Amino acid sequence: MDRKQVKESWEVLSDAYARTRPTDGNDVDLLEELAALLPADATVLDVGCGDGRRTLANMPELDRVGLDFARRGLELAATNVPAARLVQGDMAALPIADGTIDAITAYHSVFHVPKARHPEVYAEFARVLRPGGFVLTTVGTTGYETTRRGWLGSDASMFFSTPGKQATRRQLESAGFEIRWERTVDDPLGSSALFFLAERPE
């Protein structure tokens, strides 16, 4: 699937995703851990915010900005998290000025970009972050690239990809990040998820 098709699928699937995805789980605790590293007036960008209930709504009271590819996801987020600022855009070309963000969260979102373009995404993260900023992102443990037909019981398809843990580490480091820690937490869907916290050195 190309990026246009992924966007079109998310316009169709945003409501079903919001209905079927739990909003709790140990991965939510990582948001408080991230917030403890930030100043009180920090701006946090949630990339792939969807309906907003998983990340934006669970963040401590910071300046929250939600970005999503799909207009429908942002409509849901506007209702669920009215305090957040919302922006439509592609994470591979963020519509955000250089050095204006203190931290980025990317929960299960980079997976919807082709593997070959993941380095572009991490370069964009580095561009918009202030020195000393952080990225908290889900990481695939093994490499794959696939399209799932009839995802979430719909007629739509969805694209997924990851180069795997070690390749993701190398890509983040090539973009100028240092991996501060990696953590495996319980996923609310009953499995587990690997996260990296990466820092852009000052």
What's the CA gap between 91 and 12, in Å, rounded? 19
pLDDT in tens, 75-94: 999 999 999 999 999 999 99
pLDDT in tens, 132-190: 999 999 999 999 999 999 999 888 999 999 999 999 999 999 999 999 999 999 876 66
**Which domain CATH number covers 164?**
3.40.50.150
Strand 144-148, strand 158-162: pairing: antiparallel
pLDDT in tens, 13-71: 999 999 988 777 778 889 999 999 999 999 999 999 999 999 999 998 899 999 999 99
pLDDT of residue 190: 65
Whole domain around residue 27: which residue ranges? Answer: 3-199
Q: Which residues contact residue 66 at a Cβ distance below 8 angstroms, ignoring those fewer than 6 apart?
A: 45, 46, 49, 52, 56, 74, 77, 81, 84, 85, 86, 87
Which of 1, 55, 8, 51 has its CA nearest to residue 28? 55
pLDDT of residue 53: 93
pTM > 0.85:
yes
How many domains are there within the chain?
A: 1
Amino acid at position 133, single letter? G
